[in-house]
Amino acid sequence: MTELYLIRHGQTEYNVARRVQGMADSALTPAGRADAQALGRGFRQAGIQFNTAYASDLVRAQDTAQLALAANNQASQLVKVSKGLREENYASFEGRLISERATALADILPDPSTATLAQIADGVHQLDVAAEDHVAVQQRFDHAIRQIVTQDAGRVMVVAHGTVILLWLEALGYPLHGQSTLHNASVTHALYADGEFKFDMFNSLAYVEAGKQAE
């Protein structure tokens, strides 16, 4: 059995600036670094040690993983990198203001402000075919996650990105109730066995909060 700790990276400069991030890289802010360290301290307080750690190849994910592991007294733990864990590819919209993307999508979506993540992905793909549609994102991430959980047993840390995690959960049938974002440094926890994921924690900041109290 594999115990999966699926984590969104810490806050970045693009998060603060309200820019489309996707596969564009943006550094963690001081708050993002502090939350990643608090996350690690929270794991340490809970007695959670990881057998394996993964991150996407984007720097914000790798930095979050390394900071959390170091705060969990696992600084020597190697962070394995997987391109399949990347955020959605927004192509020519990468780095642009989110408001600019919404303006462009207004021509093809009735109300971009209420559109689902899948509708936004498909709309961006319609505007720029180099961008991924939602099915491509889901399939890519699912393949990467299943590779990880089938080859690594025990507790596995995976640091990835908000939209790709939510689209994947939607594909699995997890009830998101319209949620379109995850907290930075949040944990979604699942047990994997016999080809199935069983979730018992979603978008939780409990470890970050515990780590801040332990500082």
Q: What is the DSSP string of 88-150?
A: P--GGGTTSBHHHHHHHHTTTSS-GGG--HHHHHHHHHHH-TTSPPHHHHHHHHHHHHHHHHH
| Secondary structure letter of residue 23 according to DSSP | T
pLDDT for 10 beyond 90:
yes
Q: If DSSP codes are grouped into helix, strand and coil, which group holds residue 184? A: coil
Reported pTM: 0.96
The answer, yes or no, to whether residue 32 has pLDDT greater than 80, is yes
What rounded mean pLDDT belongs to the chain? Answer: 96
Neighbours of 178 (CB within 10 A): 8
The position carrying tokens 């207004």 is 106
Task: Using the predicted structure, report yes or no on whether residue 142 has a pLDDT greater than 80.
Answer: yes
**Residue 134 designated active-site:** no
15-29, 44-58, 101-115, 178-192, range with the lowest pLDDT: 101-115
Q: State the catalytic residue, choosing from 87, 88, 94, 132.
A: 87
pLDDT exceeds 90 at position 5: yes
**111 against 205, higher pLDDT:** 205
**Model confidence band, residue 3 (pLDDT cutoffs 50, 70, 90):** very high
For residue 183, indicate whether it is catalytic.
Answer: no
pLDDT at position 101: 93
Q: What is the pLDDT of residue 164?
A: 98
Instruction: State the CB neighbour count (10 A cutoff) for residue 58.
Output: 25
Mean pLDDT of 48-62: 97
Domain 2-214: top CATH class: alpha beta
Q: With a cut of 90, say whether residue 177 has pLDDT above it.
A: no
Q: Which of 3, 9, 94, 132 is catalytic?
A: 9
**Beta carbons within 8 Å of 55's beta carbon, 6+ residues apart:** 61, 62, 64, 65, 79, 80, 81, 82, 85, 158, 159, 160
Residue (of 210, 213, 162) closest to 184 by Cα position: 162
Query: By 3-state DSSP, what share of the chain in percent is helix, strand and coil, each rounded to 5?
Result: 45, 20, 35
